[in-house]
A and B are shown apart, each in its own frame.
Chain A
Amino acid sequence: MNETKYMNPYLAGLFLGLILLVTIFITGRGLGASGAVKSAVVATVQTVTPTHTAETKFYKEYQEEHPGNPLKSWLVFEIIGVVIGAFISGLISNRLKFKLERSPKSTTKIRIAGALAGGLLFGFGAQIGRGCTSGAALSGMAVLSAGGLITMMAIFGGAYAFAYFFRKLWI
């Protein structure tokens, strides 16, 4: 069976905006993603070397701000939801398939290295910038946070500025 067409982007944007609005109305906070990765990192390090987390500044500060199990966080539950929601969407649109996607001009090796390096940069940058495209840029725009909008412009501005140097990866 063929894949179903994607949703009209403006319609998808309308739905996404309404989801964000309802989220803010109910919970007083916006959406996010990178925070869940942070919870996973803290939980992993805690399990592997509990003494290290007790001595290291970052984990101590994290524990002060988020007492209890790091995985019992709003964003972790939200991200579990994202996995379920995306899976359902992929299922009904016939897009479920294990696949390493890459540009025909690129190689699998390069794509793997790029994904790993890009993820590393994004994860690191999201920590410096206190949130990623969802948590800082999109949710920040909804509540007109100055920092959120600055981060948003920096993400997209940065991506355009660096795009030329990495064009071989994609086109």
Chain B
Amino acid sequence: MGPLVPEVIGNELNFIVALFVGIAFGFILEQAGFSTSKKLVGLFYGYDFTVLRVFFTAGLVAMIGVIAFDHWGLLDISLVYINPTFLWSAIIGGLIMGLGFVVGGFCPGTSVCAAAIGKIDAMIFIAGSFFGVLLFAEGYPLFENLYKAAPWGNVRVFDTLGISQSLFAFLLTVVAVGAFWATTWIENKVNGKSNPEFNSKPLYLGLTGLALILALSAFALPEKRDALLAELDDTNFVNSYVVGSMDCDELAFNLMDKDKNLQIIDLRKQKDFDVMSLPNSTRFDLENLFEKTAHKLLTIKHKKNVFISEDEIMAKKGAVLARELGYTESYYLKGGLKQFRNDILNFKLPGAASNQHEIDTYRFRTEAAKVLPVMIQEYKVKLAATSSESNKPKRVVGGC
């Protein structure tokens, strides 16, 4: 599951990845013609829309790819860098950059690309941008209020607009494809002739169709997360779902047996978990099950994953969700922790046993009620000692 950094690919190796990514990036930018300011500003005077075509095609491909990877569980989007939104700095910074674009004829990436093939104006542009950054750095206290105004956090645009990711992706694709056709028409008008490169109408009609089909496929790739969580809210769905379970006695036995293959996933709130947690249990929220940490834990071979919570229904939700996400060895605690407390931890002899089975059960539970609280206490001490060093992976820090 991506991102591969830092676990599969170390932080040092990541610099080598950066170098190769850069080589590919620079090569394509240059091949596309981004190494000449004439072509770049053509966008703003209507005679050459290459930039728009390359930029939007790239954006759409990457966007649909990210949506698909997320849907198939190949990429944990909660670890991917989402550029933070600061409303006013985004608008004003963008406008200043727009001005810089028409005055200078480059943007930072393209200026580097152009300088690499010997464009002197691009080298001057880079020198200018150096002073622009220096100006910001030295005058930072003056701009700080603007820079930090209206922080919206790492929000995604469809959440801001209150629509689904699929709908936004579809609309953006329609707008982009519409822009491709409209700008080709404008370009032909401005230049007084049609660009021979786009003469093959059937090809471009085909590509338009393909793009729209791809965009429609975004609806077939809804955010799995939202759909599954919505299903779990339906109690009937959860109740009728067939998934393995473990009863309190079996769990108690496995715990006392220190069964190495037992993994307990506790779905209660952190504060309840801090008060009392079963030995070697791990706490997750339902949402965490979509993430990479859960993926690593739940895919360890030969492990039996038992979901627990105060109530059985919540524990079962965890097991159902895990099963839906493809983690086959998922079970839930029958009766929940409520019953576990009642039957095991706080076991009181209900009176004389009437048959051999009850005699055995009562004997076991009496023993468990002595042993388990000690193990729970030991685990609490252990947790307190390690809690300071949280090993949950963090969102990648990216951006410019």
Point out residues on A near B: beta carbons under 8 Å: 6-10, 12-35, 37-38, 40-42, 44-45, 56-59, 65, 72, 74-75, 77-90, 93, 95-103, 111-112, 114-163, 166-167, 169-171
Instruction: Please give 19 more A-B residue pairs, beta carbons under 8 A apart, in addition to A41-B130, A81-B19, A86-B26.
Output: A13-B60, A19-B28, A27-B9, A32-B400, A33-B109, A82-B113, A89-B30, A96-B118, A99-B118, A117-B103, A120-B129, A122-B108, A127-B136, A133-B110, A151-B94, A151-B97, A154-B93, A155-B98, A169-B102
Kindly provide the distance from the CB of A20 to the nearest chain B CB, expressed in whole angstroms: 4
Contacts of B84 in A (CB 8 A): 130, 145, 147
In the complex the two chains form, is B31's CB within 8 Å of A136's CB?
no
In the complex the two chains form, is A88's CB within 8 Å of B23's CB?
yes
- A sample of 24 cross-chain residue pairs with beta-carbon separation below 8 angstroms, ordered by A number, consists of A21-B65, A21-B66, A33-B108, A58-B138, A75-B18, A77-B16, A80-B22, A82-B25, A84-B23, A89-B26, A114-B105, A119-B125, A119-B127, A120-B128, A122-B128, A128-B89, A130-B90, A130-B400, A138-B55, A143-B77, A146-B160, A147-B90, A158-B97, A159-B43
Contacts of A45 in B (CB 8 A): 134, 137
Partner of A147 from B28, B86, B136 at Cβ < 8 Å: B86
Kindly provide the distance from the CB of B107 to the nearest chain A CB, expressed in whole angstroms: 4
In the complex the two chains form, is B57's CB within 8 Å of A9's CB?
yes
In the complex the two chains form, is A29's CB within 8 Å of B63's CB?
no
Contacts of B122 in A (CB 8 A): 115
As a 0/1 sequence over residues 269 to 310 of chain B, the CB contacts with chain A under 8 angstroms (1 = contact) are 000000000000000000000000000000000000000000
Kindly provide the distance from the CB of A150 to the nearest chain B CB, expressed in whole angstroms: 4
In the complex the two chains form, is A146's CB within 8 Å of B85's CB?
yes
**Number of contact residues on B: which range applies?**
35 or more
Kindly provide the distance from the CB of A55 to the nearest chain B CB, expressed in whole angstroms: 12
Which of chain A's residues has its CB closest to B63's CB? A142
Partner of A82 from B22, B58, B80, B144 at Cβ < 8 Å: B22
As a 0/1 sequence over residues 25 to 51 of chain B, the CB contacts with chain A under 8 angstroms (1 = contact) are 111111111011111010111010010
**How far, in angstroms, from A140 to B90 measured CA to CA in the complex?**
12
DSSP class of B's interface residues: helix, strand, loop or mixed? helix
Contacts of B101 in A (CB 8 A): 118, 122, 155, 158-159
Given A58-B140, A162-B99, does the pair A82, B29 have CB atoms closer than 8 Å?
yes
Please name the 5 residue pairs, one residue from A and one from B, whose CB atoms are nearest each other, closest first.
A118-B104, A81-B22, A158-B98, A129-B93, A154-B94
Contacts of A157 in B (CB 8 A): 94-95, 98
Contacts of B396 in A (CB 8 A): 27-29
